[in-house]
Amino acid sequence: MHNVLPQWTPRVPKWKLRRLYESDAEGILDTELLADIGMTLLLRCEDILTVQQAQMGEVVCPVCRSQGVGSLLPRAEKLHCPLCGWSVSWRSYRQSYRRQQLNAGGAVETFRAYVKQFPKAKSDLEKMQAIDRLIHEFHYSLRQQPDQPTRSVGVNLIEGNLSSVMEFLEGLSYNAAWEAKVQVASLAGSVR
* pTM exceeds cut of 0.85: no
Q: CB atoms < 10 A from the CB of 42, how many?
A: 20
Predicted confidence at residue 140, as pLDDT, reads: 45
Q: What is the pLDDT of residues 84-131, one digit of tens each?
A: 888 888 888 889 999 999 988 778 889 999 999 999 999 999 999 999
pLDDT score for 47: 96
Inter-axis angle of helices 14-25 and 162-171, nearest 10: 10
Give residue 60's pLDDT.
87
DSSP 106: T
Contact present, 185 and 129 (Cβ < 8 Å) = yes
Residues of the chain with pLDDT under 50: 139-144, 149, 175-177, 192
- Dihedral sign, CA of 138, 121, 53, 168? negative
**pLDDT for the residue numbered 100:** 92
Residue 125: the pLDDT is 93
